[in-house]
Structure 1
Amino acid sequence: MSEVNTLLIGRNRLFLEGLKSLLRGSSFNVCGEALCVGAIEETDAPAGLVLIELRDDLSGVVEDLHQLREDLPETPVVVLTDERDPRTLASCLNAGAAAFLLKDISLEALIHSLKLALLGQKVMPTDLAAALINGAAGLQPVGGKGVESYGLSDRELEILRCLVNGDANKVIANRLDITEATVKVHMKSLLRKIKAGNRTQAAIWALNHGLAPGLPFGKTDRAAVAAPAAKEVVMSQMMG
């Protein structure tokens, strides 16, 4: 893959220098470093990926993620953390994070996970993904209401599973053999029915209501699953 300009945001210089050293020689070229989102400086090379260290103050991180989504709407943001709380994971994903990776990940797995994030996949630790599927994150408590009570059509349920996979509209259209315009119509309808504000919230809702990924491939956009383990690590983090 071609070189990706990468912006690093961390709580201290030592962490930033260590991460920068680890990425040296990879396809992720560090184009900038900052101790907080407010300290980001404009550079001639726009970032294609952002790596941000999770702070102790979760509300602050959520604010940072919202700010990054506003400033860099097309740039995937990957959270690096020691935190294993599924609620923290859910909050970060809900705020726009593309991936939630633990700091004890191996360098090989980190690079692979970053590539998956660039492909639009959601990457996270396996145990936390399981907690989301079991409804432990608490963002959208099921409260006894089954999925059937929301009035979702079979097609909308298929699209929800595609969202859990991290699929873009084009990929969903190819998988289900429908047009992108039709995908958008169904998407608008299902978001309204489950009261989700965006695709990420819908994917989290689907996980909390037991809709795990696994829709069979139809007409597939092969570029979206180019990584050999992509389907297996959409909801998990490769640990080295």
Structure 2
Amino acid sequence: MTSGAVMLVDHDQLFSAALAALLEEEGMAVESPLPSLPTAEQALSDGTPPALIITDPSGLDRSEDGDPLQRLRLLAPESRILVLSADLSQTALNRSLSAGAHGHVSKGASFNAVLRAVRLILMGQAVYPAAATQGMGQAPAPAAMAAETAGEAGGADLSPRETQILACVISGHSNKAIARRLSITESTVKMHFKNAMRKINAGNRTQAAIWAMEHGIAPMA
């Protein structure tokens, strides 16, 4: 295992293999996906901890030795952890938070949304649905991915077009690509994006994407 690598731990090996291939296309070093908690524990015991562990604890065996996330955290205290799971229940979100995972994202999210979450987590951010922290009586983390409807947009009074453009920004689209997708001119995209940035008090594209994710704006594929 190499320092700075991504470790995938998931019983669904087809999903892991596909995700690994996509992450590698983005220039990330990804170790061979591991199908179980014991294989992950062995790899962590034998080698250098990865920069990021992506796992779906819902498919990993639970035992008297403790929660899978807690066990991964114990063996790799310096690694960041992203839970990628179809289980978005309050119980699952609370478990991820309690284990110190840095994010919890739906397994059904687009790859662009997952990639954005991975990059944010590696930058030191946290990516969670707002329900995770609200359910524990806390305010959402600064870079949490909120679950409110996009129409509310956190009280920023965004127009439908501004919301659409932020959804495209989350997905990593350039202004030119957004213009093609929405059938408007690139200058119009820039105008709406500038207005949105002013309303949400964002200083750059990354801050705008984080804000949009915090306030429940879903990525536009």
Distance 1:237 1:79 in 2: 20
Distance 2:118 2:24 in 1: 14
Structure 2 residue ranges without an equivalent (≥5): 145-153, 155-202
TM-score (norm 1): 0.53
The two structures, once aligned, show a CA RMSD in angstroms of 3.6
**Structure 2 SS opposite 1:24:** helix
**In the alignment, does 2:28 pair up with 1:48?**
no
Q: Aligned-pair distance for 1:38?
A: 1.8
Q: Aligned-pair distance for 1:132?
A: 4.5
Distance 1:237 1:37 in 2: 33
Q: Aligned-pair distance for 1:106?
A: 1.0
Structure 1 residue ranges without an equivalent (≥5): 141-159, 168-211, 213-221
Distance 1:238 1:93 in 2: 22
**In the alignment, does 2:11 pair up with 1:15?**
no
* 1:54 to 1:68, Cα distance in 2 relative to 1, 3 A: closer
Partner residue in 1 for 2:127: 123
Q: Aligned-pair distance for 1:166?
A: 5.6
Contact 1:69 1:96 in 2 (8 A): yes
Identical pairs, percent = 22
Contact 2:102 2:126 in 1 (8 A): yes
Q: Aligned-pair distance for 1:123?
A: 1.1
Contact 1:20 1:30 in 2 (8 A): yes
Q: Aligned-pair distance for 1:34?
A: 1.4
Q: Of 203, 211, 214, which residue of structure 2 is paired with 1:231? A: 211
Partner residue in 2 for 1:38: 38
Contact 1:5 1:47 in 2 (8 A): yes
**Structure 2 SS opposite 1:30:** coil
Q: Of 85, 89, 94, which residue of structure 1 is paired with 2:98? A: 94
Q: Aligned-pair distance for 1:4?
A: 4.2
* 1:20 to 1:58, Cα distance in 2 relative to 1, 3 A: same
* 1:91 to 1:235, Cα distance in 2 relative to 1, 3 A: farther
**In the alignment, does 2:32 pair up with 1:28?**
no
Paired residues in the alignment total 157
Report the AA paired with residue 165 of structure 1: P
Distance 2:39 2:132 in 1: 34
Contact 1:120 1:166 in 2 (8 A): no
**Structure 2 SS opposite 1:124:** coil
TM-score (norm 2): 0.57
Distance 1:237 1:54 in 2: 26
Partner residue in 2 for 1:216: none
Contact 1:76 1:97 in 2 (8 A): yes
Q: Of 138, 141, 145, which residue of structure 2 is paired with 1:164? A: 141
Distance 1:64 1:238 in 2: 29
Distance 1:36 1:237 in 2: 33
**Structure 1 SS opposite 2:105:** strand
- Structure 1's consecutive aligned runs of 4 or more residues displaced over 6 angstroms after TM superposition are none
